[in-house]
Structure 1
């Protein structure tokens, strides 16, 4: 397998997985609808940052350690589950408070650097605390490793391809959501979206915490 063949083959696999609705998609959609386009892009960049870190980690063997060590994998799983549940419960609590409060309009995230950093940290933390992302890379990178190639360089290249595909998909979602913002940015709509996203996050966290070790 040549390097070009490896990249094209991996892009097909990563592209199909990117289109499958999941936690990352839910976070980006929620950020775009209830916050702002800039916040959504910051969240998407954070998700890609986490994926890139996992890709490099997989290339240098950190993900292999997690796959081999049940204790390390379990500790990261518990931390990730706790983080997902905290995010989800925060959104559920926020939606409940919005339901009790008078509809005085939207509460957009600050448009300055603080809001961008918050979005980026949310996206990065979500991916870094999801060990399944690491397992994905440790499972796929060896399959697309050309003979004689540097594992680190190939890992970075494949992770970059994954991030580019993900950002392209997130960009489409963010702009598509923007066209429907007139109907989606009302207080009632945001409350419903927060409730749905919060429930998804809590459910994902519970599933992550309760699933048996690999």
Structure 2
């Protein structure tokens, strides 16, 4: 298989995968709704950094070890599920505090104008959500070998393909964040924001519970 000839199929597969609903999509949409495009950038970059780490692990054979190890797989699944539940409960608490406090109680940390600390926290959330997902490891070891020719070095070729995937997903996710962010003023209305926090919290909790109970 020629790697250049396989690139169109690879890009199409990446686009379809990126469009699949999941924790990444939920985080990006909530972040963009509350903070606009600029506020969603660190979340997207964190997710893609985590994805690239998993891709390198897949190329080096480490992801296969994680996927094959019952203990490692279970630990990642528990950590990933717990973190999604934490994010979901935090959204619920934000909705509850906003309901009790009213418009005057809106938290500055979720309004435009992110501080460096807020930026890195959003980046870290995205990275942890991706890195603590054992399904990502299983996906990488199944996905990338299909596009790596037998005569090519696995790690180097996987690293290059992963850079392409990161570039494609970053463009797609930022485009989504830009579309959602354009309605940011509406989303940041107290009543709408409460509903957004409640709904996004429910989605994140549901995803966390699914990750906790689902098998391989």
TM over 0.5: yes
Superposition deviation, residue 177 in structure 1: 1.7
4-13 or 164-173: which moved more? 4-13
Deviation of the 1:182 alpha carbon: 2.6
Match of 2:14? 14
Q: Is the 8 A contact 1:106 1:185 kept in 2?
A: no
Q: Find the partner of 1:209 among 185, 190, 212.
A: 212
Aligned length in residues: 213
SS of 2:103's equivalent? coil
Return the offset for 1:6.
3.1
Kept after mapping to 2: 8 A contact 1:64/1:138 = yes
RMSD: 1.5
Does the Cα contact within 8 Å between 2:33 and 2:181 map onto a contact in 1?
A: yes
Q: How far, CA to CA, are the matches of 1:71 and 1:105 in structure 2?
A: 44
> How far does the alpha carbon of each residue in 1:90-130 deviate from its partner, in whole angstroms, 9 at most, with x for none?
11111111111121274343523112111111111110111
How far has the Cα of 1:11 moved from its partner? 1.4
Which residue of 151, 155, 158 maps to 1:148?
Answer: 151
- Aligned residues of 1:85 and 1:201 also touching (Cα < 8 A): yes
Distance 1:80 1:154 in 2: 28
The answer on 1:183 being equivalent to 2:186 is yes
> CA offsets per residue over residues 31-57 of structure 1, 9 Å max, x none?
111134322111101011010011101
Work out the CA distance in 1 between the residues paired with 2:187 and 2:80: 30
Matches within 5 A, 1:92-131: 92-104=92-104, 106-109=106-109, 111-131=114-134
Whether the aligned pair in 2 keeps the contact of 1:105 and 1:186 (CA below 8 Å) is: no
Match of 1:40 in 2: 40
Instruction: Name the residue aligned to 1:24.
Output: 24
Q: Distance in 2 between matches of 1:35 and 1:154?
A: 36
CA distance in 1, matches of 2:118, 2:90: 17
TM-score by length of 2: 0.93
Which residue number in structure 1 is paired with residue 78 of structure 2?
78
